[in-house]
Amino acid sequence: MIAHKCPHIQVTIVDVNAARIAAWNSDNLPIYEPGLEEIVKARRGKNLFFDTDVDKAIIEADLIFVSVNTPTKKSGVGAGYAADLFYIELCTRRIASVATSSKIVVEKSTVPCRTASSMRTILEANSRPGLRFDILSNPEFLAEGTAISDLSAPDRVLIGSLGTPEGKAAQAALVEVYANWVPREKVVTTGLWSSELSKLAANALLAQRISSINALSAICEATGADVDEVAHAVGLDQRIGSRFLKASVGFGGSCFQKDILNLVYLSESLHLPEVADYWRQITTMNEYQKRRFSQRVITSLFNTITGKKIAVLGFAFKKDTGDTRESPAATVCKHFLDESAKVSIYDPKVPESQIWLDLTVPGVQDGEEQVKKQVTICDSAMQAALGAEGIVVATEWDEFKTLDWQAVYESMAKPAYVPISPSLSLVGAELTSTENSFIFDGRGILDADKLKAIGFKVFTIGRGE
């Protein structure tokens, strides 16, 4: 977006992963994001460059955005909760050892509160004499699938700095960059720690809304209320607001879970166990929602799905992205596989290789063979539904709304033989029963009445019978 909006600024994106950089320089960009390809192709080679020469880029830059992965730690202190700052540290050390002039270093990755302080210590301890490094925190608030519009018209841009004159000057330099397209009043400046914590707080509050509406969805199903009606009614209260109240099979993505766990870890480190428990409950509710949905599929299909074919439509964590990180679709598929079902999966943007990666445990050969026996990856929703007894909508892709559901219905499995009584020679007769044509709408995007008119049995998340 900076390259797009500021033709006078040269933007160089560097990564140690040569294959990734090659993909950014090719016709096949490594990620799908609506509108991104047009911008990259328009600016690439002009003021936007992708390179593997990290050191050269560090030496040439005035301002460096550190945008590396900060996954949840898998081992050691804080495993399962704390953010792994290995790449942040590696990157910071590299900047310190390579830089030959002063730099503004911008923390763009989502990091725990006070990470900037560690970065500053590393930079100051390892750099050449006479160089200055000013650290800014500039968290990103874009959402996948809408990244380009979120970046071009953000609700706000947040820039945190130290309160020193040098810190303020660095902050002003970054404000100038955003001022090329973002109205000044939307560029918020704060202290470093407020900025770092605001990122975690924003994601925690957003995820909290989803877990709240999902908790209500369970009550709706049990009472006959309709969660969309409830969300609409409460969302009209301006203090609550209407957005981010769509009940679902659970939230996914690389951020919510990770950032909440990070906040839980922070609260525990600060000896605030009640606060930690409060935030942890958001992810507990999310796990419950996914499990509850899978269980509903199983009970509807007469309490067993062993050997039954279930079509899963959508594998990405949300529509308009090929990203599957923490996708609820993957969790639901795993629940079905554990119950020995056959699962056919279709997603318009997720590559087949990614689905295999997500469903198998790397290095466990037997598990991989078993998964390959149970799972088929399909090129269309229609193909996935062929012969299935139940269809699960796991991602809210628009194309699922306009499927030819009549044709889907006809292609689904029907019980082949129904021997009503041995004395009646009905054995072998086809029964066009609707008994096995179930749709489980985990995103509340389908017109249930229309589907019922076709003959489907429909379960929609958050809607009572």
Active site residues: 255
Helix (H) or strand (E) holding 20: helix 18-24
The whole-angstrom separation of Cα 359 and Cα 34 is: 26
Least Å from the CB of residue 416 to ligand UGA:
37
The whole-angstrom separation of Cα 425 and Cα 423 is: 6
110 binds ligand UGA (CB under 6 A): yes
142 binds ligand UGA (CB under 6 A): yes
8 Å CB contact between 399 and 381: yes
Least Å from the CB of residue 343 to ligand UGA:
20
Among 137, 171, 203, 208, which residue interacts with ligand UGA (rule: CB under 6 A)? 203
Binning the chain into helix, strand and coil, the percentages to the nearest 5 are 45, 15, 40
The whole-angstrom separation of Cα 18 and Cα 23 is: 9
Check the annotation: does 163 bind a ligand. no
Among 154, 252, 390, 462, which residue interacts with ligand UGA (rule: CB under 6 A)? 252
Among 138, 198, 248, 294, which residue interacts with ligand UGA (rule: CB under 6 A)? 248
251 binds ligand UGA (CB under 6 A): yes
Strands across the sheet containing 457-460: 375-377, 342-346, 309-313, 390-393, 438-441, 457-460
442 binds ligand UGA (CB under 6 A): no
Mark the segment that binds ligand UGA (CB under 6 A) among 59-67, 136-144, 367-375, 410-418: 136-144
8 Å CB contact between 217 and 442: no
318 binds ligand UGA (CB under 6 A): yes
Check the annotation: does 199 bind a ligand. yes
Check the annotation: does 126 bind a ligand. no
DSSP 58: H
8 Å CB contact between 412 and 389: yes
When the beta carbons of 255 and 285 are compared against ligand UGA, the nearer one is: 255
Task: For the beta carbon of residue 179, count every other beta carbon within 10 angstroms.
Answer: 15
Check the annotation: does 52 bind a ligand. no
317 binds ligand UGA (CB under 6 A): yes
Among 112, 154, 160, 253, which residue interacts with ligand UGA (rule: CB under 6 A)? 253
Residues from 263 through 282 that contact ligand UGA (CB under 6 A) = none
List the Cα angle 272/273/279 in 5-degree steps: 95
Instruction: Look up residue 157 and give its amino acid.
Output: V
Residues from 217 through 246 that contact ligand UGA (CB under 6 A) = 244-246
The whole-angstrom separation of Cα 245 and Cα 227 is: 9
Instruction: Look up residue 81 and give its amino acid.
Output: Y
Helix (H) or strand (E) holding 369: helix 365-374
Check the annotation: does 143 bind a ligand. yes
When the beta carbons of 99 and 206 are compared against ligand UGA, the nearer one is: 206
Annotated binding site for NAD(+): 15, 20, 68-72, 109-110, 144, 255-258, 325
Which residues contact ligand UGA by CB under 6 A? 110, 140-144, 203, 206, 210, 244-246, 248, 251-253, 255-256, 317-318
Binding residues for substrate: 140-144, 199-203, 239, 246-252, 317-318, 443
